[in-house]
Amino acid sequence: MSAEERRGSVIRAAMSEFAHGGYKGTSTEAIARRVGVSQPYLFRLFPNKQAIFLAASLRCIDITRQVIADAADGVPQEEKADAIANAYKKLLLDDPESLLMQMQTYVAVASAEAVGDHEFGEAVRERWQEMWDTVHLALGADVDETKTFMAYGMLVNTLFSLGYPAGHRNWEGFHDSARPA
Amino acid sequence: MSAEERRGSVIRAAMSEFAHGGYKGTSTEAIARRVGVSQPYLFRLFPNKQAIFLAASLRCIDITRQVIADAADGVPQEEKADAIANAYKKLLLDDPESLLMQMQTYVAVASAEAVGDHEFGEAVRERWQEMWDTVHLALGADVDETKTFMAYGMLVNTLFSLGYPAGHRNWEGFHDSARPA
DNA sequence: GCGGGTAGTGATTGGTCAATAACTTGTCCC
DNA sequence: GGGACAAGTTATTGACCAATCACTACCCGC
């Protein structure tokens, strides 16, 4: 297998492992085991653990952005907001690791920024902005509407992370499929 | 110093340490050093590391809830939303560790729930619900208004965590004092 | 001045982990 | 068939960490 292909599998494995364990709580050994290679080989493919985490973070945001873009594609303007919202809810249900990795990314950026490391945050912000802009354009480039839409998304993220069960009153008004089991 | 007082200082120290390092990234040694006691003594005051983290999480939510309650106290109904929003933004600026700890709590709950541990989440949800209800009552118990208000709060959390600098277009529409430096 | 309870420490243990260095295997080209 | 390069491994190192155990120091009532 070529190094580039291996890097791809490493990123996929890293997303799963980091999603559950976070940066510190995930060993490079665990990632290597999931990929099926030896642990030291990871350091031939990436300079260090941080680089693997960054790649996983960016990939996670890219996937989300793609889900949004696909959902909005070919849908009449007035239905785009619903289409994106439903696609995002479906993503959360079908692939809960995606939300976990997203949250892990946020705390990792916040922690890095807090100690003066801005490189990691810069890379994440760049991709995150692409996601924001994808939503913005799809919704007709209305600043307030985009902001409100994203705000509800972040609230869903939080309720989902906190494990609020289906039927809880905080979920009133959200579509059924947005609720965790 | 009494054990109860010590527990208080431990929780305060733990909030700072866990905020920056997360659960796995923070050693009990670091907490003990900040408190000024030996590391093994922490395990006389708390049964284990998890219990310290939980106490720090709950305290963090309590503080936020109190800030909200104080801000709404004695303010005319139509100004409460602004008063709470401004007080929350002030909290984020004055005490950034508070947001970090909040985010660490969210990922910790999500991770715990993902592996079938619901006790930690249950304790956090209980306190978080008190915070939600405090906002809900202050804003006049309108379900939709509360939800939108909280949603904007969660978006501010995310933008702040990602370290978006002041003046960035994503912050348009938010009050100046909500922007990180 | 002594007994008991409370606050607190030192030493240790069994385990984990990122990263480096040195070595091996396979393959393709000339 | 040999040389060169890419893919991959084993062994190791130096550091860190949660938790337990046995011990000490102080204070209070009597």
The pLDDT-based confidence of A180 (bands split at 50, 70, 90) is confident
- pLDDT tens string B110-132: 999 999 999 999 999 999 999 99
Which of B15, B154, B174 to probe the A interface (max A CBs under 10 A)?
A: B154
The pLDDT-based confidence of A167 (bands split at 50, 70, 90) is confident
Are B157 and A154 an interchain contact pair (Cβ–Cβ within 8 Å)?
Answer: yes
Token match 């208004």: residue? B145
Nucleotide at minimal C1' distance from the A49 CA? C18
Contact A147, B118 (CB under 8 A): no
- Percent of the residues in chain A that have a pLDDT greater than 90, as a whole number: 89
**Residue A32 pLDDT:** 97
Q: How far is CA B146 from CA A77, A109, A162, B137, in A?
A: 28, 28, 18, 9
Nearest protein residue to nucleotide C12, judged by CA and C1' positions: B40
Are B96 and A114 an interchain contact pair (Cβ–Cβ within 8 Å)?
Answer: yes
**Residue B177 pLDDT:** 72
Nearest protein residue to nucleotide D12, judged by CA and C1' positions: A40
Tokens of A44: 């031939």
Q: Say if residue A61's pLDDT is above 80.
A: yes
**Residue A166 pLDDT:** 74
Nearest protein residue to nucleotide C8, judged by CA and C1' positions: B41
d(CA A35, CA A52): 13
Measured CA B5 to C1' C6 distance, in angstroms: 13
Q: Say if residue A131's pLDDT is above 80.
A: yes
Largest alpha-carbon pair distance within chain A?
Answer: 52
**Residue A73 pLDDT:** 95
Are B20 and A113 an interchain contact pair (Cβ–Cβ within 8 Å)?
Answer: no
- pLDDT tens string A77-92: 999 999 999 999 999 9
**Residue B101 pLDDT:** 98
Please give the average per-residue pLDDT across A103-108, as a whole number.
98
Contacts of residue B117 in chain A, CB cutoff 8 Å? none
Which of B147, B168, B171, B172 to probe the A interface (max A CBs under 10 A)?
A: B147
Q: Say if residue A133's pLDDT is above 80.
A: yes
- pLDDT tens string B55-100: 999 999 999 999 999 999 999 999 999 999 999 999 999 999 999 9
- Cβ contacts of B15 within 8 Å, gap of 6 or more: B56, B59, B60, B97, B101
Q: How far is B154 from chain A (nearest CA, A)?
A: 6
DSSP secondary structure code for residue B173 in this structure: T
B39 touches strand D (CB under 7 A): yes
In terms of phi and psi (left: phi > 0; alpha: psi -120 to 50; beta: otherwise), the region of A175 is beta
Q: Dump the DSSP string for A91-137.
A: HHHH-HHHHHHHHHHHHHHHHHHHTT--HHHHHHHHHHHHHHHHHHH
